[in-house]
Amino acid sequence: MSGAGPAKGKRAVFSRSRSLLDVRTHYCPGCHHGIVHRLLAEAIDRFDVREKTVGVAPVGCAVLMYDYIDVDFAEAPHGRAPAVATGIKRARPDRFVFAYQGDGDLAAIGTAEIVHAANRGENITVLFVNNTTYGMTGGQMAPTTMLGQKTATSPYGREFRSEGYPIRVAELLATLEGTAYSARVAVSTPAQIRKAKEAVRTAFTMQIREMGFSVVEFLSTCPTNWGMKPLDAQKRVLGEMAAYFPLGVYKERKQADFT
């Protein structure tokens, strides 16, 4: 953090996470990537793993996350972050390895890699940002786009007869034996952020205790490509999105279950 400590006689109640670089991000106003980055950085600090962490950046808006999170980073081809993370973790099992993916990355082009990483119980942690669209390429239809949602490539709204239904990733991955932890959270209100923080901590704990694959799905905003004001976008998360993508913990392995 850049600032000096609190002024004399004052008590610090808030400070930048050590693992979060003091730079301005490129994310749009109202985008949730920044909050998710913050939760990630807080967890890295809390578990004191910054110096043994290797992150895997995705393709999409968050590819530049290595400019914001102060750890070693690899950059994966689109959808391949779980495979790259697998290669790193197998080579260095004592390091903390996370991958960060969007919905196009994880749930379309990278479906095979995420399913098999989870099924192997690969001891990595995946942060999955679901904002129902391809942000960086300009708001095209994603596998998680809601029925009826208009996007750059579903200008008349997503129609299930042609484009199928939005994929519920947290539930899907929870069905796999190798998955130790799968949860869906939101970060659109302080209360939800607190729950999300807990989920990230639990996911980290799974890896640190070598209990297998952990994933946290974040329902997130993309005001720019949704064509919404940031505040309206916040409301959509706990409204329309959470109605189809229910928040909750879908799988949580207990130490006793894992032998």
Partner 1 sequence: MTAGRRTLMKGNEAVCEGAIAAGCRFYYGYPITPQNEIPETMSARLPSLGGTFLQAESEVATINYVLGTSAAGRRVMTSSSGPGLSLMQEGISYMAAQELPAVIVNVSRAGPGLGGITPSQGDYFQAVKGGGHGDYRTPVLAPHSVQEMYSLTILAFELADKYRNPALVLGDAIVGQMKEPFVAAPSRASVPDEPPWALSGCAGRPRRILKSLLLKDGEIEVHNWKLHRKYTAIREQEVRFEPFFLAGARIVVLAFGTAARVAKTAIQWARAEGLPAGLLRPITLFPFPSREVEEAVCGADAALVVEMNTGQMLEDVLLCTPHRDRVRFLGKPCAMPTPEEILAEIRGLAAEAGARAVRTR
Residues that bind partner 1 (CB under 8 A): 49-54, 56-57, 63-64, 66, 70-77, 80, 83-92, 95-96, 112-113, 115-116
Q: How far apart are CA 155 and CA 165, in angstroms?
A: 16
Q: Least separation, in Å, of the C-beta of 148 and partner 1?
A: 33
Over its C-alpha atoms, the chain yields an Rg (Å, rounded) of 18
Q: How far apart are CA 169 and CA 171, in angstroms?
A: 5
Closer to partner 1 at the Cβ: 1 or 191? 1
Q: Least separation, in Å, of the C-beta of 115 and partner 1?
A: 8
Q: Least separation, in Å, of the C-beta of 191 and partner 1?
A: 34
Sign of torsion over alpha carbons 219, 220, 222, 223: positive
Closer to partner 1 at the Cβ: 44 or 185? 44
Closer to partner 1 at the Cβ: 88 or 126? 88
Over the range 172-195, which residues count as b (16 or more CB within 10 Å of their CB) and which as e? Answer: bbbebebbbbbbbbbbbeeebbeb
C-alpha torsion angle, residues 196, 35, 102, 44 (rounded to 10):
-70
Beta bridge partners of 151: 154
Closer to partner 1 at the Cβ: 26 or 209? 26
Q: Least separation, in Å, of the C-beta of 75 and partner 1?
A: 4
Q: Least separation, in Å, of the C-beta of 204 and partner 1?
A: 15
Strands 96-102 and 125-130 come out as parallel
CA angle 153/186/197 to nearest 5° reads 135
Q: How far apart are CA 206 and CA 118, in angstroms?
A: 13
Closer to partner 1 at the Cβ: 10 or 24? 24
Q: Least separation, in Å, of the C-beta of 30 and partner 1?
A: 23
Closer to partner 1 at the Cβ: 63 or 129? 63
Q: Least separation, in Å, of the C-beta of 86 and partner 1?
A: 5
Reference 194, options 31, 71, 42; nearest CA is 42
Reference 67, options 112, 109, 103, 100; nearest CA is 100
Closer to partner 1 at the Cβ: 112 or 231? 112
